Amino acid sequence: MKYILTIFTLLALAGSAQGVSLTDSKRFQIWAETMSETSSARGSLGTLTKAELRAAVDAIDGWIDANQASFNAAIPQPARAQLTTKQKLKILLKIMKLRWEVE
């Protein structure tokens, strides 16, 4: 869940529907946390290399940049206009957690 929150909070800037891309150090932080969590008994990366995982983190962040307008446009009016960016993202997070059983 921490990663989903980290990634989707990128979309929110104070008073703006546009998000800001992660810096390289933030992407590295997500990569390092994922490496740490999956090296324990909680999960496994299989044969995925460190470089391949880092490329996945970069690609997911890039996908968010490319699709944030589409996400917002998919929300029907008047909810699109009335909900704040953070409210929209909290709804998205709840849906994702239930769909994929993420804790």
Q: How confident is the model at residue 16 (pLDDT cuts 50, 70, 90)?
A: very low
pLDDT digits (tens, 9 = 90+) for 50-94: 999 999 999 999 999 899 999 999 999 999 999 999 999 999 999
Is this structure's pTM higher than 0.85? Answer: no
For the purposes of burial, counting CB atoms within 10 Å of the CB of 7, is it exposed (0-12), middle (13-18) or buried (19 or more)?
A: buried
pLDDT at 11: 47
What is the distance between the alpha carbons of residues 55 and 39, in angstroms, rounded to a whole number? 18
